[in-house]
Chains A and B, each alone.
Chain A
Amino acid sequence: MRFGVAVFPGTWSDRDCAHAVELAGHEAVMLWHKDTSLRGADCVILPGGFSYGDHLRAGAVARFAPLMDSVVDFAADGGLVWGICNGFQILCEAHLLPGALTRNSSLQFRCQPTWLRVESTASAFTAGSSRGDVLEIPISHGEGRYVADDATLAALEDEQRVAFRYVAPDGSPVGPASPNGSMRDIAGILNANRNVLGMMPHPERASEELLGSSDGMRLFQSVARSLARDGAVAAAAR
């Protein structure tokens, strides 16, 4: 399978995502922000970083890159799009996902392990897990607090489009130990068609035991298996 990894000025998780993809046994191609070609990618990753320095608002400038026009079209056609950290922020600014990411409630940047409960397996990204699985995946952000209005939050819950929720290591509610104060402890969400995932934690940093956890690798493998089984566009609509 071919994963396209977007590179905006200021992106730095591109190499880490490519590394994780290759470790999973698949091909990674880099997608330059000024180009419009997705180079035949089966899944597009918008990786973490500080695109454009996060100036004005995180993701606010990157969403207007020529590459993003192609990504928006690809998503509309059902293509798999995976936003990680800054990628999630870009997806929200581009309105491919609802809500917004704001400053951590601690007002500080936080780099630490978090535990995510898989809330929905109805997507190419999470089909390889079971509901209730707890994955150990680190965060690294200063603006990761997910906020949305009540109507949006209700829709996300009713339609089971919350993909991951922050929990305590044993799976119980994270409470005041929330890493960033996200509403409903939301760590990752899906769009209505379930082909676009945005998540704040970094699965590419939990891709090998040597790095402390390989739980993130499960997500990469899930995407690849879904694509292999169902073909590119069809994989999205599970």
Chain B
Amino acid sequence: MTWTAEIVVQLKAVVNDPQGLVVRDGLRRLGFSGVGDVRVGKYIQVELDAADAETARQSVSDMCERLLRNPVIEDYRIVNIARAVERAAAK
């Protein structure tokens, strides 16, 4: 079966996020009051073949651990894993 995984990679909470700071200040300057912390990360979409959802999730976790994120300064979360067919129907 084909699955689509959606992953968000962000800088760890403990490190500085220069992009987030600039975006935060930019939003405030545009008049959006009440904007607090902003953090900017990466959204990665991966299509993969796997027998079931659990295997797909395990595979994607391995991908994150080995390539998609830098363990020294980044965290990741798998936001969604869905059948690719389902995604096509939802479009």
Chain A: residues with CB nearer than 8 A to chain B? Answer: 52-53, 55-56, 60-61, 64
Contacts and interface: CB of A to CB of B under 8 A. Distances in A.
Interface size of B as a range: under 10
Main secondary structure of the interface of B (DSSP, over half): helix
A64 B29 contact: yes
Given A55-B40, A56-B40, A61 B19 contact: no
Nearest to B21: A55
Interface of B: 18-19, 22-23, 26, 29-30, 40
Nearest to B29: A64
Main secondary structure of the interface of A (DSSP, over half): loop
B31 to A, nearest CB: 10
Contacts of B18: 53, 55
A69 B26 CA distance: 16
B26 A53 contact: no
Top 7 nearest A-B pairs (CB, nearest first) are A55-B22, A55-B19, A61-B26, A52-B22, A56-B23, A53-B22, A64-B30
A53 B19 contact: yes
Contacts of A60: 26
Given A55-B19, A64-B30, 20 more contacts: A52-B22, A52-B26, A53-B18, A53-B19, A53-B22, A55-B18, A55-B22, A55-B23, A55-B40, A56-B19, A56-B22, A56-B23, A56-B26, A56-B40, A60-B26, A61-B22, A61-B23, A61-B26, A64-B26, A64-B29
